Structure 1
């Protein structure tokens, strides 16, 4: 089996070779950024309506660009060895899962089933401590749950006292290093969906604290204070890829669980935003994208003009409406939305590879610091698309 650094190197080369196809700002573009470099692929996008990307469409993509077929292999997971972990019984009493939504509870169960057994645990960025609660119930071992929101600590504490579980809550800001002592005194640190800088800090602080075992599922890599990605491992530091927050967002850009209504609203909002963007470029006579803040969904129901009035007010452009009315720009927004869908049908091929690149960077960094590391998927994608797990032991 190839080592993590070998895998990283081939993945890194492949991503670097095809940066044009995935490293661009969708909203800022009025045209296909790679149409001259990949003319046949560009022609395919022009002739397809692409209302839904399907197997025959991608078969044609792979025929035109055989090297893109590698995308399929990067979404195939490594397999985690399940034997040394616990067997979860399905008859956990209802009172243990009380107050936890069904999907979240299923994620927690799947995560705990693959968490290494230990004498004590630190639950990182715990929220109300749902993950720690199941660990404490299953193993009867002490769990220290770290959380920076005091109200969540108090709510979790009430629950664990009621159930008489060996779980304590520590009000701590882990980004300020306040989790260090807990990590030094625990055998295993766990984190389910710790975002961006939060899981980076866990890895770095656990190494310093000499924590025996680590089990985490990374999430939202783009939630970071850094404008550009700071690699952890020596391998990634040698990479020529320069990842921006927008690129890190692509690594997790995947709607698997959104309902039809939610998707329709999202499509409508994107169409309106693109239509307004085209209007503001013309009105200001400046060909550059102008970000507009988040909107209350109720405004979308009032139609395109209402959205534009709101957006123009947000950006101090209302006075330009008299010179250039909004009429006609909704249709331009729809055309641009279709164009973006086509470009994203290609850039989405790189999403699993980018996420794998980021997971490997973390795995290799842990190896470089004396850990034995396994990576793989802890549950099915339908339960959560963020299903990578990193398990490490000194």
Structure 2
């Protein structure tokens, strides 16, 4: 058994043991879904003036459930060792980073610093080719950037010509296999934050194409066409876990880092949605969650009743509004919002482990197909929370 498989099995067992604490639909239930299994933990969430998410809160959680603290034992050291072949020029001329936002440029630099040098590169889901641009500038080696939006390809080509870089673009839909010819000729394939099926396709197609090296930072595992996760590796296929799209979303669901206005609107929207949900259960006399489509944020400023009127129209429930007034349900929405914040503070304990489980599945699949694989963080979390890198080379 390899080191990756050993880590995976320990992690898989731990996640399986505690599925009730993280694998549930937050909005669908009015109660605490795991109250009977973890009564002391459920009692903690009922306390008044609970500072959810604070160090004191988690200290009490770990006192009641010591096994929840062991997740950190399964996670590797924070940062990936930089490749010995790569020394990044930090004093790059400003014209190279022109048009790239500061944080994104820093992410690209960190990713390139951990990318081994190669004879040529394929940049997967390139956008305007910013990652490929730095590789081409740094190494003066050919970069073939693949992107399905033609306008981005054209913008990238103009930039490459302006800087006189060995970077070419192909307008390609990689989900339809249009990236295979490029991979067949690639020495190293790179992808920074390719979402869901996009990075999965890269891994599978690169294995088939016998691509020598891969450097991937996966992202947004829930952006997939299938309703339930299909494991790549044999080890993950043996797991008892069945992951839904909601579980894949939890793997990348970070505690809010948005600005105060954005956080306020998000809280308001969730409160309104939960209040409307309580109303529709009462009005329809059916105790089940009814999803409501996306809403224009401007509508939220018109108050709870206006939101509910809109939502009732969306769901064909306008006839029920005369019998059951909306106003009584706003306080219920506020109470449910506070309760869900507490439930999510517990489920957040499993987020890093769940993401690592998914990263390990990809790494083990590559290992099973003849690659030597390293995984780790290519930058600090403050730069991007999606900071895992899978670095693989044909053995």
Shorter-chain TM range is: over 0.9
Question: SS at the partner of 1:14?
Answer: helix
Q: Deviations along 1:334-359, whole A, 9 cap, x unmatched?
A: 00001101111110000000000000
Distance 2:49 2:213 in 1: 50
**Matched residue of 1:216: which SS?**
strand
TM-score, normalising length: structure 2: 0.97
Q: Secondary structure at the match of 2:264?
A: helix
For 1:57 and 1:85, how far apart are their aligned partners in 2? 45
Q: Which moved more, 1:313-322 or 1:375-384?
A: 313-322
1:1-394 equivalences in 2 (<5 Å): 3-75=3-75, 77=77, 79-255=79-255, 257-394=257-394
SS at the partner of 1:215? strand
What is the CA distance between 1:67 and its match in structure 2?
A: 0.7
Q: C-alpha separation between the residues in 2 aligned to 1:74 and 1:299?
A: 45
Deviation at 1:49, TM superposition (A): 3.2
Residue 218 of structure 2 contacts residue 386 of structure 2 at CA under 8 Å; is this kept in 1? yes
- What's the secondary structure of 1:145's corresponding residue? strand
d(CA) in 2 for partners of 1:164 and 1:50?
59
Q: Relative to 1, partners in 2 of residues 1:76 and 1:369: Cα closer, same or farther, differing over 3 Å?
A: closer
Kept in 1, the 8 Å contact 2:272–2:333? The answer is yes
Aligned-residue offset at 1:258: 1.3
Where does structure 2 lack aligned partners over 5 or more consecutive residues? none
RMSD: 1.3
Verify the 8 A CA contact 1:78 1:375 in the aligned structure 2.
Answer: no
**Secondary structure of 1:193's match?**
strand
Once the two structures are TM-superposed, the CA of residue 284 in structure 1 deviates from its matched residue by: 1.1
Deviations 1:233-260 (A, max 9, x none): 0000000000000000000001453112
TM-score (normalizing by structure 1): 0.98
Distance apart, 1:78 and its partner CA: 5.2
C-alpha contact 1:124 1:189 (8 A) present in aligned 2: yes
Other structure's SS at 2:62 match? helix
Matched length: 394
1:69-113, Cα deviation, whole Å (9 max, x unpaired) = 112334554542214242222221111111111111111111111
**Whole-Å separation in 2 of the counterparts to 1:102 and 1:203:** 29
Distance 2:210 2:78 in 1: 26
CA distance in structure 2 between the partners assigned to 1:246 and 1:327 by the alignment: 31
In 1, distance between residues paired with 2:198 and 2:180?
13
Q: CA 1:165 to 1:142, structure 2 compared with 1: closer, same or farther past 3 Å? A: same
SS in 1 for 2:72: helix
1:99-136 deviation per Cα after TM superposition (whole angstroms, max 9, x unaligned)? 11111111111111101110100000001111001111
- Partner deviation per Cα, 1:211-269 (whole Å, 9 max, x = no partner): 00000000000000011000000000000000000000000001453112211111111
CA distance in structure 2 between the partners assigned to 1:387 and 1:257 by the alignment: 16
User: Which 10-residue stretch deviates more, 65-74 or 12-21?
Assistant: 65-74
Give the Cα–Cα distance (whole angstroms) in 1 for the partners of residues 48 and 22 of structure 2: 19
Q: In structure 2, the residue corresponding to 1:328 is in which secondary structure? A: helix
**2:46 partner SS:** helix
